[in-house]
Amino acid sequence: MSDFSTLEPAVDPNNRISFLLDWELTMKCNLDCSYCGTDLYDGGHNNSVPHPPVDECLKTIDFMFEYVDLYMSTKPRGIRYVILNVYGGESLHHPDIVEILKTVRERYKSYQDRWYLTVTTTTNAIVNDRILDEIIPLIDEFTVSYHTENTPKQKQQFRENLLKIKTSGRRLKCVVLMHAEADKFEDAGFMIDWLNQNQIRYLPRQLDHVMTQEEFNYSEKQVTWFENLYQSRTQIKEKFKMPEKKVVEDQIDLADTGRACCGGRQVCQDQNYRSRTFFVGNKFPDWFCSVNHFFVYVKQVTKEIFVNKDCKMNYTGSVGPIGHLSNYQKLLDDTKQQLSTDNMPVIQCKKQRCYCGLCAPKAESKTDYDKIIKKYQQKIPT
Protein backbone atom coordinates (compact mmCIF):
# COMPACT_ATOMS: atom_id res chain seq x y z
CA MET A 1 0.00 0.00 0.00
CA SER A 2 1.22 3.53 -0.82
CA ASP A 3 2.33 5.85 1.97
CA PHE A 4 0.58 8.79 0.25
CA SER A 5 -3.05 9.34 -0.71
CA THR A 6 -2.88 11.49 -3.88
CA LEU A 7 -0.50 11.60 -6.83
CA GLU A 8 -0.25 14.30 -9.50
CA PRO A 9 2.19 15.34 -12.24
CA ALA A 10 4.58 18.11 -11.29
CA VAL A 11 4.31 21.38 -13.16
CA ASP A 12 7.28 21.51 -15.51
CA PRO A 13 7.55 23.98 -18.43
CA ASN A 14 9.87 21.53 -20.18
CA ASN A 15 7.43 18.62 -19.82
CA ARG A 16 3.90 19.96 -20.21
CA ILE A 17 0.83 18.16 -18.91
CA SER A 18 -0.64 16.71 -22.11
CA PHE A 19 -3.18 14.29 -23.49
CA LEU A 20 -1.45 11.24 -24.99
CA LEU A 21 -3.01 9.68 -28.06
CA ASP A 22 -1.34 6.29 -28.27
CA TRP A 23 -1.88 4.77 -31.71
CA GLU A 24 -0.59 1.25 -32.11
CA LEU A 25 -0.47 1.35 -35.87
CA THR A 26 0.85 -2.16 -36.55
CA MET A 27 1.98 -5.24 -34.67
CA LYS A 28 4.81 -6.06 -37.06
CA CYS A 29 8.38 -5.27 -36.03
CA ASN A 30 11.79 -5.63 -37.62
CA LEU A 31 13.31 -6.71 -34.26
CA ASP A 32 12.53 -9.64 -31.99
CA CYS A 33 13.72 -8.75 -28.48
CA SER A 34 13.39 -11.47 -25.85
CA TYR A 35 11.67 -9.15 -23.35
CA CYS A 36 9.05 -7.99 -25.84
CA GLY A 37 5.75 -9.88 -25.84
CA THR A 38 4.52 -11.59 -29.00
CA ASP A 39 0.85 -11.92 -28.06
CA LEU A 40 -1.70 -9.40 -29.38
CA TYR A 41 -2.07 -7.97 -25.88
CA ASP A 42 1.47 -8.24 -24.55
CA GLY A 43 2.33 -4.70 -25.53
CA GLY A 44 4.95 -5.90 -27.97
CA HIS A 45 4.86 -7.27 -31.49
CA ASN A 46 3.38 -10.08 -33.56
CA ASN A 47 4.82 -10.61 -37.02
CA SER A 48 2.11 -13.10 -37.98
CA VAL A 49 -0.46 -10.28 -38.12
CA PRO A 50 -0.65 -8.27 -41.38
CA HIS A 51 -0.21 -4.50 -41.46
CA PRO A 52 -3.64 -2.78 -41.19
CA PRO A 53 -4.90 -1.42 -44.55
CA VAL A 54 -4.09 2.22 -45.14
CA ASP A 55 -7.73 3.27 -45.74
CA GLU A 56 -8.69 1.99 -42.27
CA CYS A 57 -5.76 3.83 -40.73
CA LEU A 58 -6.84 7.12 -42.30
CA LYS A 59 -10.38 6.75 -40.88
CA THR A 60 -8.86 6.21 -37.44
CA ILE A 61 -7.19 9.61 -37.63
CA ASP A 62 -10.64 11.21 -37.92
CA PHE A 63 -11.88 9.37 -34.83
CA MET A 64 -8.83 10.18 -32.71
CA PHE A 65 -8.97 13.89 -33.45
CA GLU A 66 -12.74 14.09 -32.79
CA TYR A 67 -12.34 12.18 -29.52
CA VAL A 68 -9.46 14.22 -28.16
CA ASP A 69 -11.24 17.43 -29.20
CA LEU A 70 -14.01 16.59 -26.72
CA TYR A 71 -11.54 16.34 -23.86
CA MET A 72 -9.65 19.44 -24.94
CA SER A 73 -12.89 21.44 -24.64
CA THR A 74 -12.91 20.60 -20.91
CA LYS A 75 -9.30 21.63 -20.27
CA PRO A 76 -8.00 24.95 -19.01
CA ARG A 77 -6.34 26.67 -21.94
CA GLY A 78 -2.87 26.21 -20.48
CA ILE A 79 -3.00 22.42 -20.78
CA ARG A 80 -4.62 21.97 -24.19
CA TYR A 81 -1.70 19.99 -25.54
CA VAL A 82 -2.02 16.69 -27.39
CA ILE A 83 0.73 14.22 -28.22
CA LEU A 84 -0.01 11.71 -30.96
CA ASN A 85 2.38 8.81 -30.46
CA VAL A 86 2.50 6.57 -33.53
CA TYR A 87 4.11 3.26 -32.63
CA GLY A 88 3.84 -0.53 -32.91
CA GLY A 89 5.29 -3.13 -33.24
CA GLU A 90 7.45 -0.79 -35.22
CA SER A 91 5.36 1.98 -36.77
CA LEU A 92 8.03 3.04 -39.26
CA HIS A 93 7.90 -0.52 -40.60
CA HIS A 94 4.36 0.08 -41.97
CA PRO A 95 4.59 0.31 -45.80
CA ASP A 96 2.25 3.34 -45.92
CA ILE A 97 3.75 5.25 -43.01
CA VAL A 98 4.61 8.34 -45.09
CA GLU A 99 1.06 8.69 -46.45
CA ILE A 100 -0.37 8.15 -42.96
CA LEU A 101 1.81 10.85 -41.40
CA LYS A 102 1.03 13.31 -44.20
CA THR A 103 -2.70 12.74 -43.59
CA VAL A 104 -2.24 13.38 -39.87
CA ARG A 105 -0.79 16.79 -40.70
CA GLU A 106 -3.56 17.62 -43.14
CA ARG A 107 -6.49 16.63 -40.92
CA TYR A 108 -5.15 18.43 -37.89
CA LYS A 109 -5.57 21.79 -39.64
CA SER A 110 -9.26 22.06 -38.67
CA TYR A 111 -8.33 21.73 -34.99
CA GLN A 112 -5.18 23.84 -34.85
CA ASP A 113 -6.95 26.89 -33.38
CA ARG A 114 -8.32 24.85 -30.44
CA TRP A 115 -5.36 22.77 -29.24
CA TYR A 116 -1.72 22.16 -29.99
CA LEU A 117 -0.58 18.87 -31.50
CA THR A 118 2.83 17.25 -31.25
CA VAL A 119 3.37 14.27 -33.54
CA THR A 120 5.84 11.80 -32.13
CA THR A 121 6.85 8.27 -32.85
CA THR A 122 8.25 5.62 -30.55
CA THR A 123 10.69 3.73 -32.73
CA ASN A 124 13.72 1.47 -32.59
CA ALA A 125 15.24 3.73 -35.30
CA ILE A 126 16.35 0.75 -37.38
CA VAL A 127 15.17 2.20 -40.68
CA ASN A 128 16.87 2.87 -44.00
CA ASP A 129 18.04 6.33 -45.06
CA ARG A 130 15.41 6.87 -47.77
CA ILE A 131 12.43 6.24 -45.50
CA LEU A 132 13.96 8.19 -42.61
CA ASP A 133 14.55 11.20 -44.87
CA GLU A 134 10.85 11.21 -45.85
CA ILE A 135 9.63 10.73 -42.29
CA ILE A 136 11.73 13.33 -40.46
CA PRO A 137 9.81 16.40 -41.76
CA LEU A 138 6.51 14.83 -40.65
CA ILE A 139 7.52 14.12 -37.03
CA ASP A 140 7.97 16.76 -34.32
CA GLU A 141 9.70 14.54 -31.80
CA PHE A 142 11.36 11.15 -31.95
CA THR A 143 11.40 8.84 -28.94
CA VAL A 144 13.86 6.16 -29.89
CA SER A 145 14.50 3.02 -27.89
CA TYR A 146 17.92 1.46 -27.54
CA HIS A 147 17.89 -2.33 -27.39
CA THR A 148 21.02 -4.06 -26.16
CA GLU A 149 20.02 -7.26 -27.99
CA ASN A 150 20.58 -5.58 -31.36
CA THR A 151 23.38 -6.77 -33.64
CA PRO A 152 26.56 -4.65 -33.97
CA LYS A 153 25.40 -3.56 -37.43
CA GLN A 154 22.03 -2.46 -36.09
CA LYS A 155 23.67 -0.58 -33.23
CA GLN A 156 25.82 1.32 -35.71
CA GLN A 157 22.77 2.15 -37.84
CA PHE A 158 21.00 3.27 -34.68
CA ARG A 159 23.76 5.74 -33.83
CA GLU A 160 23.92 7.10 -37.37
CA ASN A 161 20.14 7.61 -37.48
CA LEU A 162 20.12 9.40 -34.12
CA LEU A 163 22.76 11.82 -35.36
CA LYS A 164 20.75 12.42 -38.54
CA ILE A 165 17.60 13.16 -36.53
CA LYS A 166 19.50 15.49 -34.22
CA THR A 167 21.10 17.32 -37.15
CA SER A 168 17.63 17.85 -38.67
CA GLY A 169 16.64 19.91 -35.64
CA ARG A 170 13.82 17.60 -34.58
CA ARG A 171 13.39 16.99 -30.87
CA LEU A 172 14.93 13.71 -29.84
CA LYS A 173 14.91 11.53 -26.75
CA CYS A 174 16.42 8.10 -26.33
CA VAL A 175 14.91 5.54 -23.96
CA VAL A 176 17.69 3.17 -22.92
CA LEU A 177 16.24 -0.19 -21.91
CA MET A 178 18.33 -1.42 -19.01
CA HIS A 179 18.69 -5.17 -19.53
CA ALA A 180 19.49 -7.01 -16.29
CA GLU A 181 22.15 -9.33 -17.77
CA ALA A 182 25.52 -7.94 -16.68
CA ASP A 183 27.07 -7.54 -20.14
CA LYS A 184 23.91 -5.95 -21.55
CA PHE A 185 23.52 -3.62 -18.57
CA GLU A 186 27.11 -2.53 -19.22
CA ASP A 187 26.36 -2.08 -22.94
CA ALA A 188 23.41 0.17 -22.02
CA GLY A 189 25.84 2.19 -19.90
CA PHE A 190 28.13 2.63 -22.90
CA MET A 191 25.17 3.93 -24.90
CA ILE A 192 24.38 6.44 -22.14
CA ASP A 193 28.00 7.65 -22.33
CA TRP A 194 27.66 8.06 -26.11
CA LEU A 195 24.37 9.97 -25.71
CA ASN A 196 26.00 12.30 -23.20
CA GLN A 197 28.93 12.91 -25.54
CA ASN A 198 26.54 13.80 -28.36
CA GLN A 199 24.24 15.86 -26.13
CA ILE A 200 21.17 13.74 -26.80
CA ARG A 201 18.48 13.56 -24.10
CA TYR A 202 17.96 10.11 -22.66
CA LEU A 203 15.91 8.23 -20.09
CA PRO A 204 17.12 4.90 -18.67
CA ARG A 205 14.19 2.56 -18.10
CA GLN A 206 13.81 -0.61 -16.12
CA LEU A 207 12.24 -3.61 -17.80
CA ASP A 208 8.75 -4.02 -16.36
CA HIS A 209 7.23 -6.64 -18.62
CA VAL A 210 9.19 -9.63 -17.36
CA MET A 211 8.85 -12.93 -19.19
CA THR A 212 9.79 -14.96 -16.10
CA GLN A 213 10.10 -13.95 -12.45
CA GLU A 214 13.90 -14.27 -12.53
CA GLU A 215 15.01 -13.36 -16.03
CA PHE A 216 14.89 -9.57 -15.81
CA ASN A 217 15.19 -8.93 -12.09
CA TYR A 218 18.10 -6.71 -11.04
CA SER A 219 21.12 -7.20 -8.82
CA GLU A 220 21.69 -5.06 -5.73
CA LYS A 221 24.48 -3.22 -7.57
CA GLN A 222 22.16 -2.43 -10.48
CA VAL A 223 19.42 -1.22 -8.14
CA THR A 224 21.96 1.07 -6.46
CA TRP A 225 22.72 2.46 -9.93
CA PHE A 226 19.00 3.23 -10.38
CA GLU A 227 18.82 4.80 -6.92
CA ASN A 228 21.73 7.12 -7.75
CA LEU A 229 20.05 8.02 -11.04
CA TYR A 230 16.74 8.93 -9.43
CA GLN A 231 18.50 10.81 -6.63
CA SER A 232 20.25 12.98 -9.22
CA ARG A 233 16.93 13.77 -10.95
CA THR A 234 14.71 14.24 -7.92
CA GLN A 235 14.03 17.65 -6.41
CA ILE A 236 13.91 16.62 -2.74
CA LYS A 237 16.25 17.47 0.10
CA GLU A 238 16.45 14.08 1.78
CA LYS A 239 18.49 11.26 0.27
CA PHE A 240 16.42 9.24 -2.15
CA LYS A 241 15.80 5.64 -1.15
CA MET A 242 13.56 3.18 -2.91
CA PRO A 243 10.75 1.52 -0.96
CA GLU A 244 11.29 -1.99 0.40
CA LYS A 245 12.35 -4.19 -2.49
CA LYS A 246 11.10 -7.66 -3.34
CA VAL A 247 14.01 -10.11 -3.56
CA VAL A 248 13.74 -13.35 -5.55
CA GLU A 249 16.74 -15.68 -5.38
CA ASP A 250 19.15 -12.79 -4.68
CA GLN A 251 17.65 -10.77 -7.54
CA ILE A 252 15.43 -7.70 -7.06
CA ASP A 253 12.03 -7.39 -8.73
CA LEU A 254 12.25 -3.65 -9.33
CA ALA A 255 8.89 -3.53 -11.12
CA ASP A 256 7.25 -4.75 -7.91
CA THR A 257 8.91 -1.94 -5.95
CA GLY A 258 7.85 1.00 -8.10
CA ARG A 259 8.83 2.86 -11.24
CA ALA A 260 9.50 6.18 -12.88
CA CYS A 261 7.14 7.88 -15.31
CA CYS A 262 7.57 6.64 -18.92
CA GLY A 263 8.09 10.20 -20.13
CA GLY A 264 10.49 11.18 -17.37
CA ARG A 265 7.94 13.42 -15.64
CA GLN A 266 8.33 14.22 -11.97
CA VAL A 267 5.32 13.64 -9.71
CA CYS A 268 4.03 15.18 -6.48
CA GLN A 269 2.50 13.34 -3.54
CA ASP A 270 -0.29 14.53 -1.24
CA GLN A 271 -0.60 17.89 -3.05
CA ASN A 272 2.88 18.91 -1.90
CA TYR A 273 3.91 20.67 -5.09
CA ARG A 274 7.26 21.83 -3.75
CA SER A 275 8.51 18.28 -3.32
CA ARG A 276 8.95 16.19 -6.46
CA THR A 277 10.19 12.73 -7.22
CA PHE A 278 10.90 10.58 -10.28
CA PHE A 279 10.45 7.15 -8.70
CA VAL A 280 7.28 6.24 -6.82
CA GLY A 281 5.45 3.16 -5.58
CA ASN A 282 3.20 1.88 -8.35
CA LYS A 283 0.38 0.01 -6.59
CA PHE A 284 -2.98 1.75 -6.44
CA PRO A 285 -5.68 -0.88 -5.79
CA ASP A 286 -9.16 0.67 -5.72
CA TRP A 287 -7.77 4.20 -6.22
CA PHE A 288 -9.75 6.67 -8.34
CA CYS A 289 -7.83 7.60 -11.47
CA SER A 290 -8.21 10.26 -14.16
CA VAL A 291 -6.36 8.23 -16.79
CA ASN A 292 -9.19 8.70 -19.31
CA HIS A 293 -8.69 12.48 -19.13
CA PHE A 294 -5.08 12.18 -20.24
CA PHE A 295 -4.83 9.06 -22.42
CA VAL A 296 -6.50 7.05 -25.11
CA TYR A 297 -5.07 3.94 -26.75
CA VAL A 298 -6.18 2.80 -30.19
CA LYS A 299 -5.20 -0.70 -31.24
CA GLN A 300 -5.45 -0.57 -35.03
CA VAL A 301 -5.04 -4.32 -35.60
CA THR A 302 -8.02 -5.34 -33.44
CA LYS A 303 -9.85 -1.98 -33.80
CA GLU A 304 -10.31 -1.79 -30.04
CA ILE A 305 -10.25 1.52 -28.16
CA PHE A 306 -8.91 1.59 -24.59
CA VAL A 307 -8.31 4.41 -22.13
CA ASN A 308 -4.65 3.43 -21.80
CA LYS A 309 -2.26 0.97 -23.37
CA ASP A 310 -1.07 -0.68 -20.14
CA CYS A 311 -3.89 -0.57 -17.60
CA LYS A 312 -6.76 -0.93 -20.12
CA MET A 313 -9.24 -0.21 -17.33
CA ASN A 314 -12.80 0.65 -18.39
CA TYR A 315 -15.72 2.32 -16.64
CA THR A 316 -17.23 -0.91 -15.27
CA GLY A 317 -14.36 -1.73 -12.92
CA SER A 318 -12.83 -4.29 -15.25
CA VAL A 319 -10.13 -4.54 -17.90
CA GLY A 320 -11.41 -4.09 -21.43
CA PRO A 321 -12.07 -1.66 -24.29
CA ILE A 322 -14.33 1.37 -24.03
CA GLY A 323 -15.26 1.26 -27.72
CA HIS A 324 -14.53 -0.10 -31.16
CA LEU A 325 -13.45 1.56 -34.40
CA SER A 326 -16.25 -0.18 -36.30
CA ASN A 327 -18.74 1.88 -34.25
CA TYR A 328 -16.71 4.78 -32.94
CA GLN A 329 -19.54 7.30 -33.32
CA LYS A 330 -21.30 5.77 -30.31
CA LEU A 331 -18.23 6.33 -28.16
CA LEU A 332 -18.01 9.93 -29.38
CA ASP A 333 -21.70 10.57 -28.62
CA ASP A 334 -21.54 8.95 -25.18
CA THR A 335 -18.36 10.81 -24.22
CA LYS A 336 -19.77 14.18 -25.31
CA GLN A 337 -22.93 13.62 -23.28
CA GLN A 338 -21.01 12.54 -20.17
CA LEU A 339 -18.57 15.43 -20.29
CA SER A 340 -21.22 18.08 -21.02
CA THR A 341 -23.47 16.97 -18.14
CA ASP A 342 -20.67 16.55 -15.60
CA ASN A 343 -21.55 12.86 -15.53
CA MET A 344 -18.22 11.36 -16.58
CA PRO A 345 -17.72 7.99 -14.87
CA VAL A 346 -14.56 7.66 -12.82
CA ILE A 347 -12.16 4.78 -13.30
CA GLN A 348 -11.41 2.84 -10.13
CA CYS A 349 -8.22 0.83 -10.52
CA LYS A 350 -8.29 -2.95 -10.18
CA LYS A 351 -4.76 -3.59 -11.43
CA GLN A 352 -1.86 -4.94 -9.38
CA ARG A 353 0.67 -2.46 -10.79
CA CYS A 354 0.61 0.88 -12.59
CA TYR A 355 2.90 1.39 -15.59
CA CYS A 356 1.92 3.83 -18.34
CA GLY A 357 -0.60 6.17 -16.70
CA LEU A 358 1.41 6.59 -13.51
CA CYS A 359 1.43 10.39 -13.94
CA ALA A 360 -2.36 10.70 -14.36
CA PRO A 361 -3.81 12.45 -11.27
CA LYS A 362 -5.20 9.86 -8.88
CA ALA A 363 -6.40 9.60 -5.30
CA GLU A 364 -7.18 6.93 -2.75
CA SER A 365 -10.56 8.49 -1.90
CA LYS A 366 -13.27 9.81 -4.20
CA THR A 367 -13.39 13.03 -2.13
CA ASP A 368 -9.72 13.74 -2.76
CA TYR A 369 -10.10 12.77 -6.41
CA ASP A 370 -12.96 15.24 -6.91
CA LYS A 371 -10.84 17.93 -5.31
CA ILE A 372 -7.71 17.53 -7.43
CA ILE A 373 -9.42 16.84 -10.78
CA LYS A 374 -10.97 20.33 -10.80
CA LYS A 375 -7.59 21.73 -11.80
CA TYR A 376 -7.51 19.61 -14.95
CA GLN A 377 -11.10 19.22 -16.12
CA GLN A 378 -14.15 21.45 -16.56
CA LYS A 379 -17.60 20.89 -18.06
CA ILE A 380 -18.02 21.27 -21.85
CA PRO A 381 -19.57 24.70 -22.48
CA THR A 382 -23.23 24.45 -23.60
Percent of the chain with pLDDT over 90: 63
Residue 243 has pLDDT above 50, yes or no: yes
The domains of the chain are located at: 16-217+290-353
Identify the band that residue 232 occupies on the pLDDT scale cut at 50, 70 and 90.
Answer: confident
Tens-place pLDDT, residues 248-261: 555 666 667 777 78
CA distance 379 to 3: 32
Residue 190 has pLDDT above 50, yes or no: yes
Per-residue model confidence (pLDDT) at position 281: 82
User: What are residue 144's DSSP bridge partners?
Assistant: 123, 174
291 φ/ψ angles, rounded to the nearest 5 degrees: -55, -30
Identify the band that residue 211 occupies on the pLDDT scale cut at 50, 70 and 90.
Answer: very low
Residue 246 has pLDDT above 70, yes or no: no
Options 3.40.30.10, 3.40.718.10, 3.20.20.70, 3.30.2020.10; CATH for 16-217+290-353 is: 3.20.20.70
Least confident range of 33-42, 162-171, 336-345: 33-42
Per-residue model confidence (pLDDT) at position 377: 85
Identify the band that residue 237 occupies on the pLDDT scale cut at 50, 70 and 90.
Answer: very low
Identify the band that residue 15 occupies on the pLDDT scale cut at 50, 70 and 90.
Answer: confident
Identify the band that residue 1 occupies on the pLDDT scale cut at 50, 70 and 90.
Answer: low
Buried b (16+ CB within 10 A) or exposed e, 328-349: beebbeebbeebbeeebeebbb
Residue 5 has pLDDT above 70, yes or no: yes
Arithmetic mean of pLDDT over the chain: 88
Tens-place pLDDT, residues 118-168: 999 999 999 999 999 999 999 999 999 999 999 999 999 999 999 999 999
Per-residue model confidence (pLDDT) at position 250: 57
Per-residue model confidence (pLDDT) at position 241: 56
Of the ranges 9-18, 194-203, 339-348, the best mean pLDDT one: 194-203
CA distance 374 to 331: 23
| Strand 6-9 relative to strand 19-24, pairing | unpaired
CA nearest neighbour of 372 among 346, 343, 354: 346
Per-residue model confidence (pLDDT) at position 172: 97
Residue 278 has pLDDT above 70, yes or no: yes
Identify the band that residue 213 occupies on the pLDDT scale cut at 50, 70 and 90.
Answer: very low
- Cβ-contact 306, 325 below 8 angstroms: no
Tens-place pLDDT, residues 69-86: 999 999 998 899 999 999
